[in-house]
């Protein structure tokens, strides 16, 4: 399998349904979605830490949480093309968008080292072996462990990372680990 989409989910059935529907319209179907279900409400930092134990089955890994959705129907197709053109790079960075933060990374930071709060988990597509080498960075115990992971990958692979200017994800809501029922 080419791409494994990892989705952390906590009591957000409507949002998860929308998330999954956004993936089903991909033009390239060589992907699978793995759900990491939180039944207890462990919170963002603990949900991040769970990713430190995750072992991907796909060639590349992408984190798309249940309160996010894919906005690019040709994302997998594009990702495959980019990985072939660049001989399976360690990571590919793409863009995301949401109401609170706008486009990430913003133009001023595009193709520059990662900056805290200007890049997130859905910006990076990571080759499985690179994920395994850097996954411990998810276990920092911080809400911003996604930044810690990206920074770890960047530190070792900055010259091999490919930047592809495509918006791939949008947020339904920045829910910070809360179930969707509090928003109804």
**pLDDT for the residue 93:** 98
pTM of the model: 0.93
DSSP-assigned letter for residue 10 = S
Mean pLDDT, 10 residues at a time, over the chain (184 residues)? 94 90 98 92 83 97 95 98 98 92 95 95 98 96 92 97 97 60 54
Strands 124-127 and 60-63: antiparallel
User: What pLDDT is attached to residue 169?
Assistant: 96
Burial class, 35, CB count within 10 angstroms (exposed 0-12 / middle 13-18 / buried 19+): middle
**Radius of gyration, alpha carbons of the chain:** 15
d(CA 21, CA 69): 8
Residue 99, pLDDT score: 77
Handedness of CA 135, 140, 35, 118 (dihedral sign): negative
What's the burial of 179, exposed, middle or buried (CB within 10 Å: 0-12/13-18/19+)? middle
Top CATH class of 3-183 equals alpha beta
For residues 155-178, one letter each, b for 16 or more C-beta atoms within 10 angstroms of the residue's C-beta and e for the rest, the string is eebeeebbebeeebbbbbeebebb
Q: What is the pLDDT of residue 161?
A: 98
Instruction: Give pLDDT, residue 143.
Output: 86
pLDDT for the residue 134:
98
Sequence ranges of the domains in the chain: 3-183
* Distance between CA atoms of residues 110 and 146, nearest Å: 17
């Amino acid at each position: 399998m080419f791409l494994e989409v990892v989705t952390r989910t906590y009591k957000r059935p409507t949002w998860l349904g929308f998330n999954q529907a956004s993936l089903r319209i991909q033009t390239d179907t060589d992907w699978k979605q793995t759900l990491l279900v939180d039944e207890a409400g462990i919170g963002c930092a603990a949900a991040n830490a769970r990713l430190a134990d995750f072992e991907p089955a796909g060639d590349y890994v992408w984190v798309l949480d249940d309160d996010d959705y894919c906005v690019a129907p040709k994302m997998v197709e594009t990702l495959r093309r980019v990985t072939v053109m660049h001989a399976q790079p360690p990571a590919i960075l793409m863009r995301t968008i949401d109401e609170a933060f706008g486009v990430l990374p913003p133009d001023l930071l595009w193709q520059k080292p990662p900056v805290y709060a200007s890049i997130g988990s859905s910006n990076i597509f990571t080759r499985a072996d690179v994920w395994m080498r850097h996954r411990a960075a998810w276990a920092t115990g911080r809400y911003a462990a996604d930044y810690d992971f990206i920074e770890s990958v960047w530190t070792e692979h900055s010259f091999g990372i490919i930047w592809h200017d495509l918006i791939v994800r949008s947020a339904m809501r920045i829910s910070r680990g809360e179930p969707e029922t509090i928003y109804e």
